[in-house]
Amino acid sequence: MKTIYDRLNPDILASINADEQRYPFTTKALKFKLRSSECWSQLSVSDVQSIISHSHENFLTLSYQDIVWGDKFLINGD
């Protein structure tokens, strides 16, 4: 089964990677968690908050499905 990292939307992954030089600790910790998780439900609230922060998405524009199921952040169909 693919990990959350493998299933990330390419734009979201690019945004996370772009933050690695400026925020090395939190970005590396997030990538580790994403590579070790297969289901969105394995992520903590803090992990999801970190994804939102590093993706630079406006929290107010996210839907319930985006936060609870990762709809905006994951590639569908995998």
For 16-63, write each residue's pLDDT tens digit.
999 999 999 999 999 999 999 999 999 999 999 999 999 999 989 999
Q: In the chain, how long is the greatest CA-to-CA distance?
A: 32
- Is the model's pTM score more than 0.85? yes
Q: Which amino acid is at 28?
A: K
Confidence of residue 77 (pLDDT cuts 50, 70, 90): low
User: 10, 73 in Cβ contact below 8 A?
Assistant: no
Residue 11's contacts (CB-CB under 8 Å, 6 or more residues apart) are none
